[in-house]
Amino acid sequence: MNEIILDTETTGLSVQQGDRILEIACIETKDLIPTKKKFYKLINPEKEISEEAFKIHGYTYDVLKKEKKFNEVAEEFLEFIKGKKLIIHNAEFDLAHLNNELKLFGKDKINNEILDTLILARNKFPGSQASLDALCKKFRIDNSRRVTH
């Protein structure tokens, strides 16, 4: 089976307050082995980025306003994930933003099988922190060269 490991970055935390996607990153795997197929897009979110979000990902609106808008990359993205299981850490957040973007442009919600690694981590390590940083530390994954999310 092919899977897509997916992450997004956004202008803020709230779909209800109009926050938008500004980055989509996907890596395809087959039986969890990378296939070398990737989907990566920076996106013009058509709005300013909150200070809190900037601290996480480091993108400014000035950098992104020259990029394509979500509706200009949506078909390519949907084709890339079509029929594949999505593996997402905190899937509720990413899917809320992705589905909101799709709704803004008259597209159907994502209907893929979803594996949420945040839920897996919480079930496997109850009471422990389950952020990606905490999991990297737990599994001794060196992320010291990483500056932003």
Parallel, antiparallel or unpaired: strands 114-116 and 85-88: parallel
Catalytic residue among 57, 89, 97, 149: 149
Which of 75, 84, 76 has its CA nearest to residue 105?
A: 75
Pairwise CA distance, residues 94 & 86, whole Å: 11
Q: Where are the beta strands (DSSP E) in 13-148?
A: 21-30, 33-42, 85-88, 114-116
Q: Which residues pair with 6 in a beta bridge?
A: 26, 88
Q: Is 149 a catalytic residue?
A: yes
Q: Which residues are catalytic?
A: 149
